[in-house]
Structure 1
Amino acid sequence: MTISLTKKLIGATVAAGVIVALAGCGSAPAPASSSAAKPADANFKPCLVSDSGGFNDKSFNESAKNGIEKAGKDLGVKPITVESKADGDYKPNIDSLIAGKCTLIIGVGFKLDQAIADAAIANPKLNFGIIDSMADPKNTGKPAAPNIKPLLFDTAQAAYLGGYAAAAWSAQSGANKVGTFGGMKIPPVTIFMDGYVDGVKKYNEDKGANVAVVGWDKDKQDGSFTGAFQANDVAKQTANSVLDQGVDPILPVGGPIYLSASAAIKDGGKKTVMLGVDSDLAVADPSVADQILVSIMKRIDDAVYSTVTETAKGSFDPTAYVGTLENNGVGLSSFHDFESKLPKGLTDELKALQDKIIKGDIKVTSPSSPK
C-alpha cells in the first residue's frame, strides 16, 4: 500500500501532484494494458449494456465502456455496446445481444439486476457479468445463476477518505457544513453517502470540530434524492435545497446529476466545490474541473477489462469481485489544482487513514457494503 504522487492529466501527460493511491493485496483487476492474449475461442464476443444513464455519463456507464473497448482492442475483437434510454430497454437490449451471438454480456448497474438474472437462467451456456449487483432478485445471498459474475465495490472505504477531506475543506472555508444528495435511493448510491458521513465524523473526532452533514442521515438511512440519474430541473432543485443550507463542499452521487449541482452552484453565485464519484471527474469532464475538489473513484474500467480478458482466455470465474482500498478497486483521485489550497498535512492524514483501513484498524461499514 502506497501513496503515490501524480497530477492532473494534461493531454496524455501526467505531471507530479498529490493523490491518495490505492494499493494492497487481494485479487485486483488487471489494469488495462496491451498484454492480453488472443481469445481462446475464435467466436468470443464481449458485449455491454448500459443502464438508463447512458454511456456519456462521465461516470460508471462510461467507465465500463472504456474498459470493454480497451479489452477489445487488446484482444483484437470488436465488442458490442448497447445503450439503454429507459428502464424498459434492459430486457430487449440484452435479448438483442443474445441474438447477436454475444458470449459474454455485462450489465452496467443495479437496475439491470432482474434482466441479467433472467437472461442468465435462460441461457446457461453464455457468460454474464453485472456491475454493482449480485443479480439476486430473490435475495438468496448468491447470484440467480452460476454463469453470472458480480463486479462489486466497497465504495464506503474510499468515501470515508472523501468525507474526511470534505470536512477538512469545510472547516478551513468556515462553512462547517458539507452536503450530499443522490440519484436513486439504492445501495450503489447510499454506500457513498454512508462512507462520506463516517469520514466527516472521524474528522470531527480527530480535530475536535463540529462539521455537520446535510442531505443524508446514516442512522435513519434517509436523505435527499432526485429519484433518477438525469441532469434535469428536479436534480437542480434538489441540489439547491442542499446548497441553500450553506454547505461547502457538496457530493452529488448519481452520474450526470453532478451537472445539475454544477449549474446550481454557478447560477447561485456560490463558491462551493464538489466531490465527483465513480471516475476522476476533473479529467472525465474538464468543463467542471475548477469545481472538483477530489473524486471518489470505483475502478470499473479495470474490473470490466479483467473480466473480459480472463473470459477470453477460457477462464470465466463467477466468483464475485469486490473492489476495496486494499486491492486498488476504489480510492481517491488527485486533488489536481486544489492541491496547493488544501489544509496543511491533509494528504498525510489521508494516507494514515487509508493504511489503517487496509490493516483493519479502522472498520468502515455500510448496510450497502458487499457481503
Structure 2
Amino acid sequence: MKKIVALFLAVMMTASVTACSSNAPAASSAAPAAASSAAESKAESAAASDFKIGMVTDTGGVNDQSFNQSAWEGLQKLSKDTGVTVKYSESKQESDYATNLDKAADDGNNLIWGIGFAMADAILNSAKQNPDINYAIVDNAYEKTPANVTGVMFRAQEPSFLVGYIAAKTTKTNKVGFVGGMTSAIIDQFEYGYRAGVAYAAKELGKTITVDSQYAESFTDSAKGKAIATKMFSNGCDVVFHAAGGVGVGVIEAAKEAKKYAIGVDRDQAYLAPENVLTSALKLVNQAVELVSKDAMDGKEIGGQTYTYGLTEDAVGIPEEHKLMGDDTYNAAIALEAKIKDKTITPPANKAEFAEFEKGLK
C-alpha cells in the first residue's frame, strides 16, 4: 500500500471550504520577493502565537497508545510548525469532562477539542455556554450541529474490513477474536467492518471462520483487556483485533505471552510487540485534528458541519510494514482497498448492514 499521507485538506462531508488566494503582483526582483516572504512569515507567526487551542481527553488519557495520543500528537506537530499555543487536560472520569471544558474556555482558547464520542453532551453544553469559542469533537456527528461546533468522523469500518481480511487469511485455527471498548455505534464500525472482512476472506478461501467478540465496557482497563484476550487465545483464537483504547494494550500483552497475533487500532501499534502485532487498522486522528485546527487558525468557517474521512481521502488504512503476514496477504488486502474506493465493496458499519453484506456473499 502506498504510504498514507495527510493531503486530504479538501475532504468535507457536508460542506467544502475553499482557501482564499492572494493576487499580489509578482516581485520585480529576488531581493524584494525575499523581503516580502520574510514579512509574510513573520506576520503568520505573530498570528499563530495569538491563537490558542485546548484539548480535553476522554478517560483513556493522553498516553492511551490510541486516539487520544494521536490527537495530541497532531496538535504538537501543528504547534511546532506554526507556533500556535496548545494544551491538554486529561479526564480521569466522565464527570471531569464539563470541568475540563470549562477550564479550557476560561483559559482563553480559540478552539477546544473533545476527543471521543463520550464527550458529545459535554461539548454541546460547553459550546452553548460559550458561543464565541469554536469546539470540535472526534468520533461524533450531531443530528443538528451548532454553528460553533465541528464534528470529525472516520469510516472506521473500511480499515477494519482490511484487517479482518488479513486475520482470516492468517488464522490457522479458523477462529479469530474481537475485543471492543465500550458498546457504541462508533465501535460497531470496527466490529462489523472486521466481521465482514473475515467473512469475505472465508468465502474466498472456501472455509468457515468464526469470530468471538467481547466488550470490556472500558477504554482504560488494560488488565481486563488482557484477561479477555487470554481467554480467547485459550479457546482457540489465534488472531485478536481490538478497538478498545488502553484496554487494547492488555490485548497486545496477552498476544505476546500466548505467542499469538493481535491487531492494533488507530495508530500502528507494532512497536508494542513487533513479533505479535500482525497489522493495525489505522485511523489518522492526528492528521484530522491538525488540518481542522489549521482551517480554524486560517479563519475558515469550520462550525456547523461534520468532516468525514476514509480510504478515499487516504485518512485510514493499514501500515506498509507487513513482515508477519507476507507479501501475498498484504497485496491481496491492498487490492481490496481499490474495490472499497470505487465502491465495488462497501464495508458494513453496523449489525444490520453486516447482515445484508453477509447475505450478499451467499
- TM-score, normalised via structure 1 length: 0.81
Q: Give unpaired runs (5+ residues) of structure 1.
A: 7-20, 30-34, 216-223
3-state SS, counterpart of residue 345 of structure 1: helix
Identity of aligned residues (%): 30
Deviation at 1:204, TM superposition (A): 1.3
Q: Structure 2 residue aligned with 1:333, among 314, 319, 328? A: 319
Residue 307 of structure 1 aligns with which residue? 292
Deviation at 1:129, TM superposition (A): 0.3
Residue 351 of structure 1 aligns with which residue? 334
Q: Which has the larger radius of gyration?
A: 2
Q: Residue 128 in 1 paired to residue 135 in 2?
A: yes
Larger relative helix fraction = 2
Residue 264 of structure 1 aligns with which residue? 254
3-state SS, counterpart of residue 276 of structure 1: strand
3-state SS, counterpart of residue 132 of structure 2: coil
Distance 2:347 2:98 in 1: 36
Q: Residue 290 in 1 paired to residue 275 in 2?
A: yes
Deviation at 1:262, TM superposition (A): 2.9
Distance 1:307 1:24 in 2: 12
Deviation at 1:41, TM superposition (A): 7.0
- Report if the CA contact (8 A) 2:212-2:232 is conserved: yes
Q: Structure 2 residue aligned with 1:206, among 204, 215, 238? A: 204
Distance 1:213 1:184 in 2: 18
- TM-score, normalised via structure 2 length: 0.83
Structure 1's 131 and 106: CA in aligned 2 closer, same or farther, altered over 3 A?
A: same
Deviation at 1:148, TM superposition (A): 0.7
Residue 17 of structure 1 aligns with which residue? none
Distance 2:48 2:81 in 1: 15
How many equivalent residue pairs?
A: 322
Q: Residue 103 in 1 paired to residue 91 in 2?
A: no
Matches within 5 A, 1:146-295: 146-170=147-171, 174-215=172-213, 224-267=214-257, 270-282=258-270, 286-295=271-280
Q: Structure 1 residue aligned with 2:94, among 82, 87, 90? A: 87
Q: Structure 2 residue aligned with 1:75, among 64, 77, 82? A: 82
Tell me which moved more, 69-78 or 306-315. Answer: 69-78
- Report if the CA contact (8 A) 2:222-2:248 is conserved: no
Distance 1:262 1:231 in 2: 13
* Matched AA of 1:177: K
1:3-26 deviations in Å (ceiling 9; x for gaps):
32x6xxxxxxxxxxxxxx579988
1:51-100 deviations in Å (ceiling 9; x for gaps):
01001111000000000111122121221111111111100000001010
Structure 1's 225 and 188: CA in aligned 2 closer, same or farther, altered over 3 A?
A: same
Deviation at 1:336, TM superposition (A): 4.2
- Report if the CA contact (8 A) 1:39-1:75 is conserved: no
Distance 1:325 1:127 in 2: 27
- Report if the CA contact (8 A) 2:263-2:277 is conserved: yes
Distance 1:201 1:93 in 2: 43
* Matched AA of 1:146: A
Q: Structure 1 residue aligned with 2:58, among 37, 51, 55? A: 51
- Report if the CA contact (8 A) 2:156-2:189 is conserved: yes
* Matched AA of 1:332: I
3-state SS, counterpart of residue 312 of structure 2: coil
Distance 2:133 2:46 in 1: 15
1:295-343 deviations in Å (ceiling 9; x for gaps):
00110000000011111111131231111100011111133442xx52x
Structure 1's 113 and 237: CA in aligned 2 closer, same or farther, altered over 3 A?
A: same
Structure 1's 367 and 102: CA in aligned 2 closer, same or farther, altered over 3 A?
A: same
Q: Give unpaired runs (5+ residues) of structure 2.
A: 13-40, 353-362
Structure 1's 368 and 51: CA in aligned 2 closer, same or farther, altered over 3 A?
A: farther
- Report if the CA contact (8 A) 1:28-1:329 is conserved: no
Deviation at 1:231, TM superposition (A): 3.2
Structure 1's 64 and 271: CA in aligned 2 closer, same or farther, altered over 3 A?
A: same
- Report if the CA contact (8 A) 1:71-1:305 is conserved: yes
Root mean square deviation, CA, Å: 2.4
Higher normalized contact order (CA 8 Å, seq sep 6+, divided by chain length): 1
